[in-house]
Amino acid sequence: MRLIIDAHLDLAYNALHFNRDQTEELALINQREAGLTDGKARGTACVNLPEMRRGKIAVCLATVLSRAKREVQPKPGAFRLDIDFGTQHMAYASAQGHLAYYRTLQRQGELQPIQTAADLREHWDRWQKDESPDLPIGYILAMEGADPIVEPEDVDLWWEDGLRSLILAHYGKGHYSEGTGCEGGLTEKGKRLLPELDRLGMILDLTHTTDRSFDEAMDQFSGPVMASHSNCRALAHNQRQFNDEQIATLIDRGAVIGVAFDAWMITENWVRGESTPEGLKIAAIVDHIDHYCQLAGNANHVAIGSDLDGGFGAEQRPSDLHSIADLQQLDEILSSRGYSDDDIDKILHGNWMNFFLKHLPAK
C-alpha cells in the first residue's frame, strides 16, 4: 500500500461538535449515533484515527474551524453541530478548543505535530520504515476561515501555536473575505492580513474563495499558495469549484490542489438534500484529477484533500467509500487510467510532500 497525505480533515470539528471520539472504532462511533436526527451525517462517519492508519494516511492537514456571524442563530437542539459564534473573540476561543483537542491526542501518542520541513522528513521516514500498527499520524495545523484571527496582527499568536496554512473565508461572508455562496472580495481587514501572512511565511489556501477574492488575493499576496480541497468547475459547475483560468493561475504559482470527495463537488447537477449517491463511485474523482493534469501538462499539481466527514456522511459521498481507508482504491483506479507508478505516488503523497518541504519553515 502506498502512503497517503490528505490535505483536509476536520478531525477536531467532528470530535467537539459531533461528539465523536476519533480514537474509537468506526462501528462504535456510528453505533453511538443511532437514532440521532440533528444532522444527516449522523451514523455514517467514515473517518477516525484507526481507519486512517489502516489506509496508510500518514499525514493530514487537520483544521480548526469556527466562524463569527452575529446574525446567525443556532438551530434549536443542534448547537453542538454549529460553528457560528457572535464575535471573533468567541470564534477564537472555539478554534482554540479544536487546537486543545489535537494537543490532547499528541500527549496520548495518537498525533504528531508537523510544523517544519525537518518534522515532516523525520515523520515520513518513520512511516516508511516502521510497520507498527499504532504509529502517530502527522498533522499540519490548518485554519478553515480566518475569523478566529481577531485582528490581522494576531496571526503571530496562531503561528506560534503551529498554524501553517489558512483559508480566508468559509461559507458566506467572513471578516477577512467573502466565501462560498457570495460574490464579494477581500475586506479591509483581509487586505491588512495578507502582508502579515507573507511576513510569517504562512501558506495561503485559496479554497472557498469567491472569484473576486481569488483574483484580489492572488494579486496582493506573493507567498506560497495552495488549494487544500477543491474540484473543477468544468465538471461540477458551481462557484465552489475552480474554473480553468483559476486553475492555470494556481499552477503558474506552483500550487498543489487537493481533490475533495463531497458529492456535490464531484458531479454535475447534484442537489444537496435531494440527490442520492447511488451510481456515484470513487472513480468519478479521477475525472477531476485528469482535468487538472491535462491543464498542467503533467501530474505535478494535483493531490488529495478528501474533506471526508466535513459535515456530510454517506448521503453525500461516493457509494463505494465506506471508510477513509478506501482512498487506497485510487491506486488501482489511477493505474487502470494509464497513470504511471511515479505519477500515482505524486498524486497520493509526493506532490504534497514536495510542496510542504519547500514551504514549511526549514527547522
pLDDT for res 145? 98
pLDDT, tens digit (0-9, with 9 covering 90-100), for 125-169? 999 999 899 999 999 999 999 999 999 999 999 999 999 999 999
pLDDT for res 129? 95
Q: What cell does 53 get? A: 492508519
| Close Cβ partners of 167 (under 8 Å, ≥ 6 residues apart) | 142, 143, 144, 145, 146, 205, 206, 207, 208, 209, 228
Q: How confident is the model at residue 79 (pLDDT cuts 50, 70, 90)?
A: low
pLDDT for res 72? 86
pLDDT, tens digit (0-9, with 9 covering 90-100), for 22-74? 999 999 999 999 999 888 999 999 999 999 999 999 999 999 999 999 888 77
Comparing 73 with 238, which gets the higher pLDDT? 238
Q: Give 166's DSSP letter.
A: E
| Close Cβ partners of 310 (under 8 Å, ≥ 6 residues apart) | 8, 9, 10, 13, 229, 260, 262
> CA-to-CA distance for 330 and 348, rounded, in angstroms?
8
- Residue 64: phi, psi to the nearest 5? -110, 135
pLDDT, tens digit (0-9, with 9 covering 90-100), for 290-308? 999 999 999 999 999 999 9
| Closest C-alpha to 227, from 84, 120, 321, 351 | 351
> CA-to-CA distance for 63 and 162, rounded, in angstroms?
12
Domains of the chain are: 4-359 (3.20.20.140)
**The overall pTM is greater than 0.75:** yes
